[in-house]
Every structure is written in structure tokens, then in C-alpha cells.
């Protein structure tokens, strides 16, 4: 529960500082994280995913639209919440987003 509260706090701190936040990674664990962290999904602009099959659909239980990276680049978020933390290294090496990232696991942090 402390980890959940810390993650919620990080997202709301970003918003309080005037930053926009979106999710990154529409994996099944994204649905679990967002539904467990009540109130966070409603604060996100959208979720970005590189899988063409997922793009244009919605993340279950959240109502968040899944966008391609190109679509998201038209309305970029200041901060991305990495919803598939097991891909952290790959995402940071290959993603053009140079803004802030919130990593939820193993302990929530902003990088």
C-alpha cells in the first residue's frame, strides 16, 4: 500500500507542477497498476504503445485510448508513466521522449 500511495503521489506531484502525464506501455500489467492506483488513470492523457494491434483501442477498465508513438508526438506529455517497468532499459534507449519518466517498480521514482 505504501508503494501505491507513493506512485499516486508522484503522478499528482507532476500534475501539481503543471506537467501533463501519459502512460507508456499497454501491457496487461498496465491495467492492473492503473486500476490498483485509483484516480491515476483519470489523470493520464493517453497511453502510448508500439504494438500496432493495440493502437486505436482502449486500455481495459480505464477508458484510456492507446496511441502510437507518432500519434502521441502530436500532443506530447511532459512526463510518461512507464507501465511496463520490465522494459525500462529498452524503452529509455530507444524512445525519443526526452522528458521525465515515472517508473513504478521496484520503488516508484521519477527519472
Residues 60-86: tens digit of each pLDDT: 999 999 999 999 999 999 999 999 877
Q: Are strands 79-82 and 100-103 parallel, antiparallel or unpaired?
A: parallel
Indicate if the pLDDT at residue 111 is higher than 90: no
**Whole-number mean pLDDT of the chain?**
91
Position 86 scores a pLDDT of: 77
| pLDDT confidence band for 41 (50 / 70 / 90) | very high
Q: Report DSSP letters for 35-69, one per residue.
A: HHSTTSGGG-S-EE-S-TTTTTSEETTTTEEEE-H
Check residue 98 and give its pLDDT.
75
Distance, CA of 38 to chain centre: 14
Amino acid at each position: 500500500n505504501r508503494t501505491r500511495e507513493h506512485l499516486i503521489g508522484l503522478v499528482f506531484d507532476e500534475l501539481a507542477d503543471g506537467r501533463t502525464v501519459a502512460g507508456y506501455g499497454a501491457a496487461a500489467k498496465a491495467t492492473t497498476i492503473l486500476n490498483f492506483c485509483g484516480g491515476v488513470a483519470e489523470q493520464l492523457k493517453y497511453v502510448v504503445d508500439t504494438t500496432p494491434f493495440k493502437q486505436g483501442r482502449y486500455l481495459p477498465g480505464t477508458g484510456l485510448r492507446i496511441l502510437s508513438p507518432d500519434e502521441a508526438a502530436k500532443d506530447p506529455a511532459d512526463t510518461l508513466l512507464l507501465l511496463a517497468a520490465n522494459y525500462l532499459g529498452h524503452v529509455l534507449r530507444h524512445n525519443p521522449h526526452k522528458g521525465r519518466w515515472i517508473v513504478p517498480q521496484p520503488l516508484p521514482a521519477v527519472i
